[in-house]
C-alpha cells in the first residue's frame, strides 16, 4: 500500500503493507501544507523507505523504518537499499535520514558521528548504522 493523503494541515506520503499485516513495516512522511510547493519529487523504494527531495535548500529527506534487531536478512536488504539511495545523492545536498532506526548506538563518542549523549548499550543494528554514517559522512544528531 502506497500513496498520498491530504489532511487539514499536511500531505501524508506513505508506503507499507496491507492493513492485515500492519505493524510489521511501513513508513510515512508528513509535509506541512506551507511547504508543499517545495517538494521536487518523492519515490517509494519499498515498504521501509520513502525518498523525498525538497527544492528548498537543496535537500533530501529519507523516511525509513528498518527491521528489528536479529532480523539479519531484512536488515541487510534495508541497508543495501539505503546505500543505493545515498550513492545517488549529490554530496553538496543537505540530507536528512529520519525515522525510528531501531538501534542502540551506545555513548562512546565516534568523531563527528556519535556524540556522548546516548545510552550505554550498543547493539548490532547500532554498529551497522554507525558504519553507514561513517562511510557516508553522516551524523547521528540526537546524540550531540
Render pLDDT for 55-108 as a digit per residue (tens, 0 to 9). Answer: 766 666 666 666 566 677 778 888 898 899 889 888 778 778 877 777 888 888
- Per-residue pLDDT, averaged over 17-37, amounts to 78
* Owning domain of residue 52: 2-70+95-102
- Please tell me which residue, 52 or 100, carries the higher pLDDT value: 52
Provide the phi-psi class of 82: left if phi over 0, else alpha when psi is between -120 and 50, else beta: alpha
Instruction: Judge whether 63 lies within some domain.
Output: yes
Rounded alpha-carbon distances, angstroms, from residue 118 to 52, 65, 75: 28, 20, 22
Instruction: Judge whether 10 lies within some domain.
Output: yes
What is the predicted pLDDT for the residue at 9? Answer: 92
Domain count, the chain: 1
Amino acid at each position: 500500500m502506497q500513496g498520498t493523503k491530504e489532511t487539514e494541515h499536511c500531505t501524508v506520503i506513505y508506503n507499507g503493507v496491507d492493513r492485515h499485516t500492519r505493524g510489521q513495516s511501513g513508513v510515512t512522511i508528513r509535509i506541512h501544507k506551507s511547504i508543499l510547493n517545495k517538494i521536487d519529487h518523492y519515490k517509494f523504494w519499498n515498504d521501509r523507505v520513502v525518498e523525498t527531495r525538497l527544492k528548498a535548500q537543496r535537500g533530501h529527506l529519507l523516511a525509513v523504518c528498518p527491521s528489528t534487531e536479529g532480523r539479519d536478512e531484512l536488515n541487510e536488504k534495508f541497508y543495501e537499499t539505503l546505500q543505493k539511495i545515498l550513492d545517488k545523492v549529490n554530496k553538496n545536498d543537505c540530507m536528512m535520514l529520519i525515522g525510528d532506526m531501531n538501534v542502540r548506538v551506545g555513548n562512546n563518542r565516534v568523531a563527528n558521528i556519535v556524540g556522548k549523549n546516548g545510552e550505554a548499550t550498543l547493539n548490532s543494528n547500532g554498529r551497522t548504522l554507525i558504519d553507514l554514517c561513517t562511510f557516508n559522512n553522516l551524523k547521528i544528531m540526537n546524540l550531540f
